[in-house]
Amino acid sequence: PRGSSSQQGRGVLVRSTGKHSPPAARKKHSGAVVMGTDVASVEEDAVSGVRVTRVWAENSCAGLLRPGDLLVGVCGHAIANDGTVVYRGGCRADLEVWIHEHYVLDKVSLTIVRDGVPRNLQVVLRPLAQLVPRAPYYDTPPRFFVYGGLVLQPVSLGLLESLQALGSADAVVAITQGIIDEHRTEEIMLTQVLSDDVNAGYESESDNLVRTVNGKPCRNLSDLIRRVEATPRGSLVTLGLSNSNLIALPSPADLADDTQRINRLYNVTIDRRVDGEPGVVSPRAVIVGHTAESASEWLKDAIRRVQQ
């Protein structure tokens, strides 16, 4: 909090006694903003600034900063070679302390040196995009995809809490160390196997993460669904898991009758929910056994029943 002791960035203690007048019109808080970079201190006394070592995909500086850039200024404040800036009251704090003064979609200025040439950049701030969101989400239905009796879900804090001790070690590593990159924007877990002849032998694979779909990296839930549904008749859908095992099931066309039977047996009325995925246009949920028109009416009836 402003005006009190707090930890920022790499653990630089902030002690500020300077008075701060808040803006007349407060913007709505819609998430903490970050630059989304890893930086390293510069050991040369003659050089001011820090070296960018990594830029996190899907975050504020993605596409603007590059590894190797020398970051020398933030919001008009010079950055020392230990990664600190002068903050209110004359104290020194982590460089992102000035970023934290802003809100989502605010623009801030960064000064860098790239290939020996100084540059000024304007960055539109975004909330932190994480491989596994660490903040709980309320009043939000879970996202999932059911295929051949396999229940696949994005990893979240809520999911891990529901699994408790059953959560895989891979998922724990993902939530503590995972960073979004060009190959993955979220982790997908096989959370349950609805036992049937078509998936016999795969029951023990629950709680493993899905690494590949048909030999390609699994980027997110929508990507998984697209790759599964693009599998041609006569081919196999393959899911590579974090324990190095491989699941193989028939294509959607070859599995259609079995899918309907499994869904009836386990009372699965909706085979997916993908709404709310960041950066992806979510396809309409498919309700098994209904046309698009009848599915819409089915949903309206379901909503009316809940409201009653």
Q: 189 in helix, strand or coil?
A: strand
| Rounded distance between C-alpha atoms, residue 78 and residue 71, angstroms | 9
At position 174, the amino acid (one-letter code) is A
| Rounded distance between C-alpha atoms, residue 307 and residue 235, angstroms | 44
pLDDT recorded at residue 257: 93
The answer to whether the CB of 171 falls within 8 A of the CB of 158 is no
Longest Cα separation, the chain = 72
What is the chain's pLDDT, residue by residue, as a tens digit (308 residues)? 222 233 333 333 333 333 343 443 445 556 678 898 889 988 877 778 999 998 888 889 989 999 999 999 999 999 998 999 999 878 999 999 999 889 889 999 999 999 999 999 999 998 877 776 665 555 667 889 999 999 999 887 766 666 654 455 665 665 556 666 777 888 899 989 999 999 999 999 988 889 999 999 999 999 999 999 999 999 999 999 988 999 999 999 999 999 999 999 999 888 998 874 433 323 333 333 333 344 344 444 544 544 44
Phi-psi map region of 63: left, alpha, beta (phi>0 left; psi -120 to 50 alpha):
left
The answer to whether the CB of 73 falls within 8 A of the CB of 6 is no
pLDDT recorded at residue 284: 31
pLDDT recorded at residue 290: 36
pLDDT recorded at residue 110: 96
- Decide yes or no: CATH 3.20.190.20 for domain 144-307: yes
| Rounded distance between C-alpha atoms, residue 277 and residue 58, angstroms | 13
| Rounded distance between C-alpha atoms, residue 295 and residue 301, angstroms | 10
Instruction: Give the domain ranges of the chain.
Output: 6-16+26-127, 144-307
Q: Which CATH number fits domain 6-16+26-127: 1.10.287.1260, 3.40.1010.10, 3.40.50.300, 2.30.42.10?
A: 2.30.42.10
| Rounded distance between C-alpha atoms, residue 154 and residue 164, angstroms | 16
